[in-house]
Amino acid sequence: ATDVEAMMKKTVTAYGRLDCAFNNAGVGVMATTMDCTEEMWDLTMNVNLKGPFILSQLVARIMKEKGGGRIINMSSAAAFKATILGIYSVTKAGLVMLTQCLAKEWGQYGIRVNALAPGIIETRFSEALWKDPAVGEDARKRNALGFLGVPEDVVGAALFLASDASRYITGTT
């Protein structure tokens, strides 16, 4: 948290404010819920849920002083349907609820909090899934468009939520 606080101070010093934060860190352990160890559970919860909470809390304090801002959390379609990464799904569902709670509490300060929840995006993070022929093909078949997304497919939604075009949207995934 100390490094993050220093980064926030540098940002405000350089730009005078902090308008938007994007919580995009994530980890998924390749273990079933039966085989998940306490260490795996803690790592996944800390990175996927505790980390976004701590960062959001830090930036919200700055945003409150500066008249508001936007926080975007990267959740996942896995938040709404159990996947082969069960603990990951639990953390992303928690992130959806955290988004709603923060939006409800912080809206009075002009802070909007929303989440994005794409399906599998072809990144290094999800490579073990989409490169697996069976998993990748199943994901493509379940997608109405018939293909997996790439990072550029999420950019437009993130820019929308970061902009004033979404000024009446908060607590939404």
Among all residues, which ones are annotated catalytic?
A: 88
The distance of Cα 27 from the centroid of its chain, to the nearest Å, equals 11
The C-alpha atoms of residue 27 and residue 92 are separated, in whole angstroms, by 10
All residues at 6 or more sequence positions from 99 whose CB lies less than 8 Å from its CB, including other chains: 73, 75, 113, 114, 115, 171, 172, 173
80 phi/psi in degrees, rounded to 5: -110, -5
